[in-house]
Amino acid sequence: MHFWMVQSLNSLALGAVLFTLAAGFSLIFGLMRVANLSHGAYFMLGNEELAAKPIRSLRLDIRWGQLPAGEGGFGERYRGYPGEWGAATFQVSPEVLRDGHWRGGSGGSLSLFHGEFRLDGTSRLDMPEPDLALYHRPQSDVPTPFLYGANTRNGFFRLVLCSPGNAFGHALYPRLLSEALTRNARLKRTKLSLPLPQEPYTPTIDQLSLDYTASQLVPLRTPAPAAGQLFHLYPFGHDCPRAHAGTDGVPLLPRYMQDGNLYIGLSGADPQGALSLYFQLRQESATECRQADRPPVTWSVWCEDGWQALDPGCVLLDGTLGFLRSGVVVLNLPSGMSIRCPRLPGDLYWLRLSANGNLGGFAGLYAIFAQAVSASRVRPRAASEPLIPLLPGTIKAPLHPIGGLRMVQQIGPSFGLRAPDVADALRVRSAERLHHKNRASAPWDYERLLLDAFPQIFKVKCFFNGEAPGAGDAAQPGGVLAVVVPAPRQGALFHSTEAPRFDAAVLEQMAGYLRERSSPSVGLVVRNAAYERIQVRCELRLVQGCHPGAALVRINRAIVEFLSPWHTEGNRACFDWEVRAGAIEARLRELEDVDVVGPISLLHIVRTDDNVYRLRDTARAGQPSPTRQVKPVQPWSLALPTPHHLIELTGAQRDWKAKQTGFGKLEVGSTFIVGASTAEPGKEAS
């Protein structure tokens, strides 16, 4: 397996005989600020990262400073100097430090500069790969800071100036300058004087960058003392993977076999045996699963050889209904758990809760508490005692002292308190019980059983044997679909446009309650009611002297209350509902602010279980006949009004007719829906 890694070096030790490279102006050969370059001067570099890795290639990119800028390059700069002075003349020999000795030379020399007539400002120098393979020895223990000294044995590289013999001419320049000045001084005519030699070029570096590649064979079956290691990085730690017998190797990246994982750390002694955990969950965040089963969860514990899955029988109690609500979970932990888990922090015993698939079907997590128990009230409730649950933190101590118990903490409010039945309700319950005998056979039985066991239900409707097309398994022969609507909270009514729903935990409770009282072969689904929105559009004329702003507010409120199933004077909460434009028109004529009512059109907004929205307009052009009513698209839906309706005021009465609602009248987030048309021939587009 081969892959590339790119990393920048944090520091680089550079030297020429021994000096540190300075920014902006630095001599590459010779001592700093001493123009004393000669044949055999060298430029040295090293870094702790390079010293520790098996380098396969090494490249230096140099941008030179203060190069001769004119035509002719070095040839023009060194006119009058003896010998050849072209750009190709300046050669360096790369060497590698091995066991205190400089080795190399297999790849020949490298040119420092390029360009004969005009010099190139950049140079690229590649260290010979054979020299790197033969002489570079990666160090297992690199000192910090990494500096070159008399005891340095490995890890450094250098470039030795091998051509020309006079280096950059600094040793020649004083003699040539003295000779030229002496000769010119002896001449009586200045016109015959010779040009003075130019000062030799002192090489400076404006920018230096280094690239390298390194490769290493890492044994994964039996670790070698001096070899590298492969680390798998996890969210809370790391691990060194090892190949096991009978396997081809290990993956390059860590694998997560589950889509979601929850890790729980336990401190203290060996937790072998029963462990009680209280999960405080945000049950309203769990999504409703209608067409597919909720994904199963798997418990695992960390042992010396990795994660070990627990048998389903080790889950002694699950009061969360599959992590849909807050509750107590009791586990039977095995022996052999270990606190040495490199993937997770701390010396803790680790549990893992895993699941695949639709993780949104689980409730959100607030907190987890150990050593949890549930308590039930045994004292009878007094007649004058209010039906108010105990707030969290009310219970702080047991009734009688218990040895070894340090504290008691009540996490959440109490639940399950129910008022006693009055005489009339008791007679009705008794008669219903005699009728269904605590068994669900007919739709009537399913509905009464739910209403009796769950007083928080306001309305329930049961569909049998395909009465609700599109309901998945419940629409098949032998299927049952129970649709429930929550009851208003005690002392409060729903808002006129609110769409109340049960959370997933309560729906699961209802389904489990019915399964215990019905045939095992029944495909049962309990779900919330869907809500289809209705928006009214009409033109009307107000009575003379009526304030338009206040009148429109009153008219909009009257429409909302008339269409709302939660309002005392509105439509009943009925699944087989029908909204007629004529009924709305009659209600508007009853208002004191309205003088004349024009034709009414209705916008019908439908949201399916797949979160697909459809918009239908009763005034849409091209329909075979005018539509004056709206019926449910989904049999398990209730009609709800939108908060705002399209009411337009007009002055003079004219030949009115219903208008199709255009883009300018649609509201983003309510009635403005973008999607492909799915209308069938002869039906409304959606």
Q: Where do the domains of the chain lie?
A: 13-212, 237-243+253-370, 433-528, 530-665
Is 50 exceeded by the pLDDT of residue 70? yes
Q: What is the pLDDT of residues 441-496, one digit of tens each?
A: 899 999 999 999 998 899 999 988 777 776 666 667 778 899 999 987 655 566 88
State residue 659's pLDDT score: 61
Beta strands across the sheet bearing 327-333:
315-318, 327-333, 273-282, 364-370
More confident residue, 34 or 569: 569
pLDDT band at 672 (very low <50, low <70, confident <90, very high): low
State residue 679's pLDDT score: 43
State residue 665's pLDDT score: 55
State residue 533's pLDDT score: 92
pLDDT band at 395 (very low <50, low <70, confident <90, very high): confident
* 344-353, 459-468, 479-488, 623-632: least confidently modelled range: 623-632
State residue 1's pLDDT score: 38
User: How far is the C-alpha of 59 from the C-alpha of 39, rounded, in Å?
Assistant: 23
User: How far is the C-alpha of 262 from the C-alpha of 282, rounded, in Å?
Assistant: 15
State residue 402's pLDDT score: 86
State the pTM of this model.
0.65
- Mean pLDDT for the stretch of residues 320-347: 90
Q: What is the pLDDT of residues 290-320, one digit of tens each?
A: 645 678 899 999 998 889 999 999 999 999 9
Is 90 exceeded by the pLDDT of residue 567? no
Is 90 exceeded by the pLDDT of residue 255? no
State residue 328's pLDDT score: 93
Please say whether the beta carbons of 263 and 352 come within 8 A.
Answer: yes
Give percent helix, percent strand, percent coil of the chain, each to the nearest 5. 15, 25, 55
State residue 37's pLDDT score: 53
Please say whether the beta carbons of 320 and 281 come within 8 A.
Answer: yes
- Mean pLDDT for the stretch of residues 223-232: 70
State residue 681's pLDDT score: 38
State residue 337's pLDDT score: 92
User: How far is the C-alpha of 349 from the C-alpha of 328, rounded, in Å?
Assistant: 20
Q: What is the pLDDT of residues 187-209, one digit of tens each?
A: 877 666 778 888 998 888 888 88
Q: What percent of the chain has pLDDT over 70?
A: 83
* 216-230, 287-301, 665-679: least confidently modelled range: 665-679
User: How far is the C-alpha of 486 from the C-alpha of 286, rounded, in Å?
Assistant: 17
More confident residue, 413 or 292: 413
| Protein fold of 433-528 | GMP Synthetase; Chain A, domain 3 (3.30.300)
622 — alpha (psi -120 to 50), left (phi > 0) or beta?
left
State residue 13's pLDDT score: 53
* 38-42, 361-365, 537-541, 558-562: least confidently modelled range: 38-42
Q: Per the structure block, which two tokens stand in for 215?
A: 């490769």
Largest CA distance in the chain: 143
State residue 233's pLDDT score: 87
Is 50 exceeded by the pLDDT of residue 530? yes
State residue 73's pLDDT score: 87
More confident residue, 674 or 644: 644
User: How far is the C-alpha of 497 from the C-alpha of 562, rounded, in Å?
Assistant: 11
Is 90 exceeded by the pLDDT of residue 6? no
State residue 678's pLDDT score: 44
